[in-house]
Every structure is written in structure tokens, then in C-alpha cells.
Amino acid sequence: MQEPNDQHADDELFMAEALRLAEQGAAIGEVPVGAVLVQDGVIIGRGYNSPIGLNDPSAHAEVQAIRDAATGVENYRLPNTTLYVTLEPCHMCAGLMVHARIARVVFAAHEPRAGAVESQGCFFAQSFLNHRVTITGGILADESAQLLKSFFKARRKSATQKVTQGQ
């Protein structure tokens, strides 16, 4: 059995990889959210937000990582896995985690407007669900929040510049 400190170190390691993926998304103009799906200490799925580039409103980082893993293991069920994501999941992504049978979700920053895990209700605590997902929040939260703040600050600055230049 893993000691709590070992688990925390693993959580930070995998969250750092999710942050790298979020940065990749930001580099191409997507909202910087990244995710990795881990099974037995191995990353089996990776993703970052891609709704703009894929013209797909469901292409959230979590969805991309889960799709990548399911394709790789050739199974739509992903039991005994942990999903690491840099932003608290929305209802759509939380529902997907239940359907995929993800065991645990670890998120970095809270999403006060649309976070379905803690901020705007506790989706996984609903009695009607046929699967339970455990939650750990706040792992590398400051790094994730800073990445998001910097992204949106740059986006607002760009939008302001376009307005002042008459574009």
C-alpha cells in the first residue's frame, strides 16, 4: 500500500504532466486545461482542451484523455484509473468519468462558475449514480490558476489592441 506522502508526490508528478499539456493547448489558442489518465503508475491517456481546433464543444481535456486511453486499451471502461486535470471538471466531464468507471479524479484549480465536483455542487455524491469516483483537489492549484490567469489576461489584451486599432 502506498504511503500518503508517496501518493502526494505521484499526484504532483502526474499533475505536472497535465500542466505541460495545458501549456500545449494554450500555445495554439485553446483555454489551457490539460489532463492525463493513469493506471498502475503509467499514463495511458493524454489530452488538452481542443474545442476550437476540432470544432467540437465536447473536446475538453478530460474527454480527450479518456478517449485516448479507451482507444489505447481497446475498452470503453477504464476501472482502477486516476484522471489528473488542471481545472475542476464540468458536469459533462464528470458524467463521462462515471460512465468510463474512472476510480479517482485529481484536479488542480477550482472552477467557481462551472466546476461540478466541488464548486457548483458535488456531482459524484448524487445518490442516483451507479459508480463512485473519489476526489482530490488543489494539487498544483497555484500553477494551474496562474496559467489560466495569464492566458486570459493575454487574450483580453489582444482583444483591446484590436479594438483600439479599429480591427
The catalytic site residues sit at 62
CA distance 83 to 101: 11
Which residue carries 462558475 as its cell? 113
Q: Is 61 left (phi over 0), alpha (psi -120 to 50) or beta?
A: alpha
Nearest CA-CA partner of 104 in 119, 123, 83, 121: 83
Q: Which residues of 87-118 are buried (b: 16+ CB within 10 A; e: fewer)?
A: bbbbeebbebbbebbbbbbbbbbbbeeebbbb
CA distance 13 to 4: 14
Q: Are 32 and 52 in contact (CB under 8 A)?
A: no
Give Cβ neighbours of residue 113 (< 8 Å, ≥ 6 apart): 119, 120
